[in-house]
Amino acid sequence: MIKIIYIKNILNNYYRIDKYLYYYFLLKKKNISRKKIQDNINNGNVLLNNKVIKKKKHIKINDKIIFIYKKNFFKIKKKKYIYKNKNIILNIKYEDNDIIIINKQPGLTVHPGCGNYKNTLINGLKYYISLKKIKILNYSKYRIGLLHRLDKDTSGLLIVAKNIKSFNILNEQFKKKKIIKKYLALVWGIPKKKKDIIKNYIGRNKKNRIKMTVLKNDIKNGKYSITKYKILKVFNYFSLIECNLKTGRTHQIRVHLKYIGNPIFNDKLYGGNKIKYNYINRLYKKKYTNIIKYLFNVLPRQALHSYLLKFNHPITKKKITFISKLPKSFKKVIEYLKKNNF
């Protein structure tokens, strides 16, 4: 079967063809993944202006796309798991007709998967929109308008789009690095520079596929990643820093801070849960160990919080800023460090 598409309107003149087709078919109420579209392109079944192309080819207005597909191409295969609505408490920071800002609590997984298909933010969001009878665009069973994600044990702000127009506009803002995302992190030791920009490539750790790692100049296996940071407060053994993400790679802040020698406090995946003794006098080792163990108990997850989002509203175009206070456990650790000069 053949579908011929003439490009009449796109957000800019440099939209990737796989992304365009993905949203085009979603608007036509065709359930399909971008991966399936990319595979169809790679198999030579998509022509742009009568020429076979690659998935990363960009399109422009007045282009002609010929999409060749089999009869059952859009047929949905029955999945083992159905991502059901579940009454999970969500801290809604802000909501209007076009967006929702969620202040995610630590310990809550964002997307279903890896054996957890019921107790995620997506399940809670599905319940919330059904309860409020919100006609939110169901982009897929995984996303439901969610534009980005946070790790399970990272707390803070997330953006949800409530319609396709808002989703596309905000997606463009992310793409053009116009959305400002800032995090607070408590790290071991004191970074060598008060402020810096970390630039390198991040990819999967070959020895442990759950972990990410810095791959120096490895363009093939890594993705270019940029993190700006500055020190806000220095304690005896720790530093509170602000991170400004310029790219959004998996575990980016956690990987970058470990890379510069200052892993995030109690980050179990990247070594922040191991007590560092290179900062102390041996005479105080026992007391120091007991204090660190106490602080680990107070904050039993990585000390990373997405505290600020700044962007233009997708419809009103007004500049809006959202700030999330530190969770109680994180704040309690900071207060202990200040009070005890630790």
Q: Checking DSSP bridges between strand 223-234 and strand 195-204, what pairing results, if any? A: antiparallel
The secondary structure of 198-216 as a DSSP string is: EEEEEEE-SS-TTSEEE-T
Q: What tokens appear for 234 in the block?
A: 């220095």
The secondary structure of 102-125 as a DSSP string is: EEEPTT-BSS-BTTBSSSBHHHHH
Q: What tokens appear for 74 in the block?
A: 């859009």
Q: Please, how many CA atoms are within 13 Å of residue 85, restricted to the half-sphere of its CB?
A: 9
Catalytic: 267?
Answer: no
252 to 44, 48, 285, 290: CA distances (angstroms): 34, 35, 32, 30
CA angle, corner 116, sides to 111 and 122, nearest 5? 30
Residue 181 · residue 304 · CB < 8 Å: no
Phi, psi of 56 (to 5 degrees): -90, 5
User: Which residues have CB under 8 Å from 314's CB, separation 6+?
Assistant: 98, 99, 161, 165, 166, 169, 170, 173
User: Catalytic residue among 151, 153, 196, 267, which?
Assistant: 151
Residue 18 · residue 41 · CB < 8 Å: yes
Q: What tokens appear for 59 in the block?
A: 């399109």
299 to 44, 106, 177, 183, 294: CA distances (angstroms): 52, 10, 32, 17, 9
User: Length of the chain, please?
Assistant: 342
What is d(CA 84, CA 68) in angstroms, rounded to the nearest whole number? Answer: 34
Known catalytic residues are: 151
